[in-house]
Structure 1
Amino acid sequence: MGEKDPHRTRELMTQLGRVAPVLAVVLALLALWCAWQGVRQWQAGQRSTSVTQARDAAVDATGQALQAELRRMRERLASAPVQRALQDGRLDAAGAALGRDWPGATGVAVVPHDLRSEYNALAPGRFGRLAALESAVAAGEPVLMVAGGPAGPQILVTAPARVGERPVGVAIAALPLERATAGLAAVEVDPATYVALRQGSQTLMARGEPALSNVAERLGRPVPGTQLRIVAATPHVGRPPLGLSALPLWGLAATLLALAIAAGRLARRRSPAGSESDAEPTLAQSLQTADVDRPAPRPAPASAPKPAAAQLDPAIFRAYDIRGVVGRTLDAAIAERIGRAIGSLMHEQGLDEIVVGRDGRLSGPDLAAGLIAGLRASGRNVVDIGLVPTPLTYFAAYHLRTGCCVSITGSHNPPEYNGFKIVVGGETLAGEAIAELHARIAGERLYAAPVPGGLVERDLADDYVRRIADDIQIARPLKVVVDAGNGAAGTLGPRVLEAIGADVIPLHCEIDGTFPNHHPDPSEPRNLADLIDVVKRMGADLGVAFDGDGDRLGVVAADGAIIDADRLLMLFAADLLERNPGALIVHDVKCTGRLTGHVLRHGGSPLMWKTGHSLIKAKMRETGAELAGEMSGHFFFAERWFGFDDGLYAAARLLEILALQADPTAALHALPVGVSTPELKVDVPGGDPHAFVARFLAQATFDGARLSTIDGLRADWPDGWGLVRASNTTPVLVLRFDADDAQALARIQALFRERLLAIEPGLTLPF
């Protein structure tokens, strides 16, 4: 054995010598990489310290300047000239005395405490002044916020004007924005970092690198006593390797460099190996690796059997989308004609590229193929993102800057339904625009391009998840049950909530277009039975449910209580209004009457509008609203998001709010509540709910009620309301009732029952 040892030693040295050059290069490269990472971590630390100091200095300077203006308002209101005028009821004189010799102040006034004159004089888009006045009434003390003015943003200082403890008016003074921005303007800011003064989603002043604006909220700090905050950000350098800071990384780099030098010396000492050395691989050859096996392509999704050709039915062109029954009113051939009509509209507007996504229904692949063929025939370039929730299709249109997309989805309808939600030039098609698509098809006014458009496939799920996770990270983990109802959000919904820090328990998250467990409509209480059971059994903090295409959200508290969407909108509104005083909050006609008062008490401006995702989005664009919601569970965030309805993002925003609460269930139950019904759906003899509603509007009367006819008929009394409207997605009437107590609810339902049966005695009413 001993005689073989020298031979083995020489063989081992020879083998080490062969790999020594490669090892030396690899170790040297690792040393350089660690040294560079150390430099990056050191720079990141320096920049973090710098930007934190700049932020804090700006907060202190801005706070001192604005607190001085709040003190000035208090002192002037308590002055003898102002108090004498208030005691005499001379509000104009009080305003004049209040503003005398106030440097830079304009528009100083004292208005009546009930603000009725302000509401009567409210101009479209001018909600900031009213919100500032409402905030002072609600707070009972001077408040300061930034709002738009004739010459741009300005500071509004408002305060209750009292004589003793008796409120007689509300004081307001406008100051130049520079009073708020001077503090930030004076601090030193590293150009590679970002520091900004914000109120809500509005950036009032920014310094540094604009590309960091989207991630600056994480280092935000409020300016005391105001609605303003200073936000900051540094360039992202990633997690430090092995969790090491700069000095340990430099130490590791030195160690690796020493090992690289030793390996190099070993390579130089190695004895020649004759012809064997000529066969040694080069460094490039040594670093080559075998090709990694490519994953097998995913099998094509199952599709429904091809139905007989359907005839074009104008009834599928609905108020805010296209929706039909596959095999009866909708098939691939009709989808192709719809694609050509959309492409023709895009051609006229000079738009070339469009995103197409589809939900998990069995008919989706065939309809997508037809739609894409029609779009390409009209010369449009198509980006096919495959099976995704509708919000991801909307997101793709923004992310890829196409401005156009089509989501092929039946939403919350039964499996045999499917349809198209369409965005062209950034606007969701609805009403006359949908009708015009039918007219194009019926009139054969379809553009035929000389060369077909292109087709590419993209996977944008990671981009979508990353964008949400960059915006939201919850303060503490929450255990959440996610019920996707076997819809298109089954994969992405849990991913989003896990990415923001939640502990997710998936339920019915396998995508299956037959919806084997329950109907994918979270607005129906019976569809939440499984979710309620699992939330209770697992001791979860809450449960969330999505509809078939993921653009709607349902919520269940830890105790199993269903939290209606209009109450969730109250929670979202209160949170948003902390950052955006005066913001306009749009809600549909099915939402509780308590929502209006809740928004006003939190300094916002409520607006009731028609039900329908495209109609709500159009109203948001028209009015500049920051938030909207529907009783069906659609939520639209323009603040920090893109303004489209997104159940997944809404769930993330909900967790962000609840994670800050000691008891999420108590926070949900603290929202104002009365006695209400869910959406009650009633079949109409003849199957035309719109015709029935027209008759109801013409014949029904309700004494003592304030009537709204923007969408069906809603009758409001001081203690509750009732609604009758036609659904735009299924051929039924939709009814809802809401009241302060059970007696008022019963009275309102009895009135509606009497009038409904007077028009159609054959109706089967569920109340």
Structure 2
Amino acid sequence: MTEMDAGRRGSGQTKRAGLLLALLLILLAAWFGWSGANLWRADAREQQLADARDQAAAATAAAVGAQERGLAERLQAPEVQSALAQGDAAAAAAALRAAWEQVEEVAFWRAGLGAAYAEAAGFGYARLALLERALSSGGPVAAVVRDDEQARLGVAAPVELAGESAVAYARLPLRTLTAGFQQVPLPEGTYLALRQGNYNVSERGAGSLSGSADALSREVGKTGLRAAAAVPDADAAPFQLGATACLAVAGVLAFLAIVALLLGSGRLQRLRRRRGNAEATPDEQPTFGQTLEREAGDAPASAASAQRSAPAEPPSMPDVALDPGIFRAYDIRGVVGKQLTPQVAARIGQAIGSVMAEQGLTDIVVGRDGRLSGPELVGGLIEGLRRAGRNVIDVGMVPTPVVYFAAYHLRAGSGVAVTGSHNPPDYNGFKIVVGGETLSGEAITDLYARIAEGRLHQADPGALSQQDVAEDYIQRIADDVQLERPLKVVADAGNGVAGEIAPRLLEAIGAEVIPLYCDIDGTFPNHHPDPSEPHNLEDLIQTVKQFDADIGLAFDGDGDRLGVVTKEGRIIFPDRLLMLYAADVLQRNPGAMVIYDVKCTGKLSDYILRHGGSPLMWKTGHSLIKSKMRETEAELAGEMSGHFFFKERWYGFDDGLYSAARLLEILAGRMEAPSEVLDELPDGVSTPEIKVPVDGDPHAIVARFAAAAQVEDAPFAGARLTTIDGLRADWNDGWGLLRASNTTPVLVLRFEADDEATLSRIRDLYREQLRTLLPEDAPLEF
């Protein structure tokens, strides 16, 4: 072959290579361009939906306001006021109906609402709650209620009937509330719903998106309603880029494609020769590789050359700001939008999936509580878990113990509950079980280290499936627990996620249930879902008395804690409940280990011993207690916070719902009234948990306090000191505790004694010693 033939052959190869490169670049440009355009359309549609949601919220708020004003104005009509002054409720109702074309029913009740409470189930708990709210608020209020066996808009306002306090109620068709909502223009393929708690008052669009709609919800003033919205997920963009970045990359690739076409057609070489490269003959033209090398020497490497010189990296998640403070002792918890975002959740999911991969675990259950941020955080979490190659089973919106149950029931062995527990509405978090072990302490901080150091496992995406396990959970408990006699129970879910399942479970085991705040609402409009705070139990106490119920049960935001009140209004602290549980379990398991945390009563140890058990005090924290149970093979454990852990007949995880069932089983099996059974338990004079906010590290303060207390001539000399979690000092007539919270920057104290004088002595001692360690203005009024 002559040199000229070789040159022609090389030139042909160069052209073909240039054309192939151009084709590749064109395809890449088209991919990035299509992705960018798709993302742009998706962003535009989401913005249109957000506008529609806001319009719907405004229209609904206006409708509610109009009906509330309408009732208030019509109540002031002379004929209505005259009838009310004479105590003629029927005449007042007739006058009001005559003046109000849309109204379906009008009624008046005296403030006691005796007739309504007598037939509460038939009257409707939502309607009853509306009347109570009107009486307490002092003005007109509205809500969606079930009346005449259908959803209606109820409006109520306080009035005076013959000089006595009463309440007026008007029932209106639902269209008076939803007319504006139905007229709002809705982008194609999206979803919009008007919700009260977990009930859809009205919905439009793609119903398949209903489950994720709360992520884009907007409150409707202070009505308890919210406008929820959802858009379908956009197709994933290359390398997780946004719309603008995709379009920019497409433009760069298109330019490089033109350059490659010129190279392939030979025009680029001819242009170079015309610029002064006359000495180069066709036989001396550089090869395609040489051309690229020369261009690399003249300018920074292009995207095309970089792609050719090294294999493309797999798409990676964008960098996220990760706050190490969210990785707590027992779980992960933080403020939504600041510390917790879907991107952070995705990293956490991939870190959990990495731990699972190292242990050879493939399947994991994911569920969430009723917080509005739940759907988007679950979406991010699932993305990260699947990115690590894990198969995800989504069990939807369920209490945390149902997630734990599903991990056993579905033989996954691992699970994550996306929950903020009892924290304020703007918080959320993750409770994590891997291979049957609840992660805590170093295992939690290891997740942060993996993310920070980039030690994240990546594999082909795992599978995703959905499964409803709520009925299986209820059936599993009902097959084991049945009441020997019916008990009337008030169940207060505090608008937490237990509200949907708790009444069904308690009815399944034979109880008569009166639901209180069982509509799931992530804003917690009635009271905070934390039964360890006595003031959160006030409504439950009143409702138990009004219905003459046998007992009141309260659940926290994610359903893993239990609070109890008697029909007389006494709060039964969890450490006394643990006595009752221990006596029951030890009947069938003599000598069994019973674990309790450092905040529990000093009378608990003796009680367990007298009933043939082995007591063990341990650190506070649900994950720490569960770890100790596995180590000691304990049958039962409990915490002062209301976490109870049954290994006997159950799985050993903390479950407020199952604990409620076991409590009712014990009470229904006794001849005495529930209040009498609970009153028999040993008691003393005690305080609830006392929380003192501090600046700085509460653990350091507790360490200094404990060190000072252990000096020989310290005021604590003569007490039995326990330092496994803070400092607990036990005397023969009482005890005190100071420990640092592992979830918030506060000091936690609790005291108990045989009488008030001893209690004051111990409190004063702790206060005096603590005052030397804190600033003078520190709040120590406990």
Question: SS in structure 2 opposite 1:440?
Answer: helix
1:587-666 equivalent positions in 2, closer than 5 A: 587-661=596-670, 662-666=672-676
Residue of structure 1 aligned with 2:369, choices 349, 355, 359: 359
Shift of 1:354: 0.2
Quote the residue 2:778 is aligned against.
Answer: 763
Residue identity opposite 1:378 in structure 2: A
How big is each residue's C-alpha offset from its partner over 1:254-282, in whole Å with a ceiling of 9 and x where there is no partner?
A: xxxxxxxxxxxxxxxxxxxxxxxxxxxxx
**Are the aligned partners of 2:217 and 2:372 in contact in 1 as well (CA < 8 Å)?**
no
Q: Distance in 1 between matches of 2:319 and 2:753?
A: 49
Q: Distance in 2 between matches of 1:734 and 1:370?
A: 34
Q: Distance in 2 between matches of 1:550 and 1:731?
A: 24
Change (3 A) 1:298 1:766: farther
Shift of 1:763: 2.0
Q: Please, which moves more after superposition, 296-305 or 433-442?
A: 296-305
Q: Is the counterpart of residue 522 in structure 1 residue 531 in structure 2?
A: yes
Quote the residue 1:318 is aligned against.
Answer: 328
Q: Distance in 2 between matches of 1:730 and 1:653?
A: 31
Shift of 1:765: 1.8
Residue identity opposite 2:516 in structure 1: L
**Are the aligned partners of 1:577 and 1:603 in contact in 2 as well (CA < 8 Å)?**
yes
Q: Please, which moves more after superposition, 696-705 or 480-489?
A: 696-705
Q: Is the counterpart of residue 563 in structure 1 residue 572 in structure 2?
A: yes
Quote the residue 2:387 is aligned against.
Answer: 377
**Are the aligned partners of 1:588 and 1:630 in contact in 2 as well (CA < 8 Å)?**
yes
**Are the aligned partners of 2:212 and 2:376 in contact in 1 as well (CA < 8 Å)?**
no
Question: SS in structure 1 opposite 2:565?
Answer: strand
Quote the residue 1:539 is aligned against.
Answer: 548
Q: Is the counterpart of residue 708 in structure 1 residue 722 in structure 2?
A: yes
Counting matched residue pairs gives: 471
Q: Distance in 1 between matches of 2:212 and 2:781?
A: 40
Residue of structure 1 aligned with 2:768, choices 754, 757, 760: 754
Quote the residue 2:101 is aligned against.
Answer: none
1:252-331 equivalent positions in 2, closer than 5 A: 297=208, 299-304=210-215, 311-331=321-341
Question: SS in structure 1 opposite 2:210?
Answer: coil
Question: SS in structure 2 opposite 1:489?
Answer: helix
Residue of structure 2 aligned with 1:669, choices 668, 672, 679: 679
- Extract unaligned runs of 5+ from structure 2: 1-205, 219-317
Quote the residue 2:431 is aligned against.
Answer: 421
Question: SS in structure 2 opposite 1:724?
Answer: strand
Residue of structure 2 aligned with 1:720, choices 718, 730, 734: 734
Question: SS in structure 2 opposite 1:539?
Answer: coil
Residue of structure 1 aligned with 2:695, choices 685, 690, 704: 685
Q: Distance in 1 between matches of 2:334 and 2:371?
A: 13
Change (3 A) 1:530 1:306: closer
Shift of 1:299: 2.1
Q: Distance in 1 between matches of 2:666 and 2:376?
A: 41
Shift of 1:304: 4.8
Shift of 1:302: 4.0
Quote the residue 2:234 is aligned against.
Answer: none
**Are the aligned partners of 2:486 and 2:510 in contact in 1 as well (CA < 8 Å)?**
yes
Quote the residue 1:77 is aligned against.
Answer: none
Shift of 1:346: 0.4
How big is each residue's C-alpha offset from its partner over 1:539-558, in whole Å with a ceiling of 9 and x where there is no partner?
A: 00000000000000000011
TM-score, normalised by the number of residues in structure 1: 0.60
Residue identity opposite 1:670 in structure 2: E
Q: Distance in 1 between matches of 2:209 and 2:552?
A: 31
Q: Distance in 2 between matches of 1:306 and 1:493?
A: 25
Q: Work out the percentage of aligned pairs sharing the same amino acid.
A: 69
Shift of 1:660: 1.5
Q: Is the counterpart of residue 452 in structure 1 residue 461 in structure 2?
A: yes
Q: Is the counterpart of residue 368 in structure 1 residue 383 in structure 2?
A: no
Question: What is the root-mean-square deviation in Å for CA atoms of aligned residues?
Answer: 1.6
TM-score, normalised by the number of residues in structure 2: 0.59
Residue identity opposite 1:726 in structure 2: A
How big is each residue's C-alpha offset from its partner over 1:652-690, in whole Å with a ceiling of 9 and x where there is no partner?
A: 00000000123111001110000000000110023x322
Q: Is the counterpart of residue 554 in structure 1 residue 554 in structure 2?
A: no
Residue identity opposite 2:210 in structure 1: P
Residue identity opposite 1:488 in structure 2: V
Quote the residue 1:160 is aligned against.
Answer: none
Q: Distance in 1 between matches of 2:646 and 2:737?
A: 26
Question: SS in structure 2 opposite 1:438?
Answer: helix
Quote the residue 1:194 is aligned against.
Answer: none
Shift of 1:309: 9.6
Quote the residue 1:44 is aligned against.
Answer: none
Quote the residue 1:405 is aligned against.
Answer: 415
Q: Distance in 2 between matches of 1:473 and 1:306?
A: 40
Question: SS in structure 2 opposite 1:300?
Answer: helix
**Are the aligned partners of 1:358 and 1:409 in contact in 2 as well (CA < 8 Å)?**
yes
How big is each residue's C-alpha offset from its partner over 1:710-736, in whole Å with a ceiling of 9 and x where there is no partner?
A: 011111111111111111222211110
- Extract unaligned runs of 5+ from structure 1: 1-294
Shift of 1:297: 4.6
Q: Distance in 1 between matches of 2:762 and 2:706?
A: 17
**Are the aligned partners of 1:310 and 1:328 in contact in 2 as well (CA < 8 Å)?**
no
Q: Is the counterpart of residue 738 in structure 1 residue 747 in structure 2?
A: no
Question: SS in structure 2 opposite 1:650?
Answer: helix
Quote the residue 1:114 is aligned against.
Answer: none
How big is each residue's C-alpha offset from its partner over 1:401-453, in whole Å with a ceiling of 9 and x where there is no partner?
A: 1110000001111111111100001100011111111110010000110x100
Shift of 1:301: 4.6
Q: Is the counterpart of residue 388 in structure 1 residue 402 in structure 2?
A: no
**Are the aligned partners of 1:725 and 1:735 in contact in 2 as well (CA < 8 Å)?**
yes
Q: Is the counterpart of residue 476 in structure 1 residue 491 in structure 2?
A: no
Shift of 1:310: 6.5
Shift of 1:311: 2.1
Shift of 1:697: 2.1
Quote the residue 2:518 is aligned against.
Answer: 509
1:208-287 equivalent positions in 2, closer than 5 A: none
**Are the aligned partners of 1:685 and 1:762 in contact in 2 as well (CA < 8 Å)?**
no
Q: Distance in 1 between matches of 2:745 and 2:484?
A: 44
**Are the aligned partners of 1:309 and 1:331 in contact in 2 as well (CA < 8 Å)?**
no
Question: SS in structure 1 opposite 2:462?
Answer: coil
**Are the aligned partners of 1:685 and 1:763 in contact in 2 as well (CA < 8 Å)?**
no
Shift of 1:695: 2.4
How big is each residue's C-alpha offset from its partner over 1:122-165, in whole Å with a ceiling of 9 and x where there is no partner?
A: xxxxxxxxxxxxxxxxxxxxxxxxxxxxxxxxxxxxxxxxxxxx
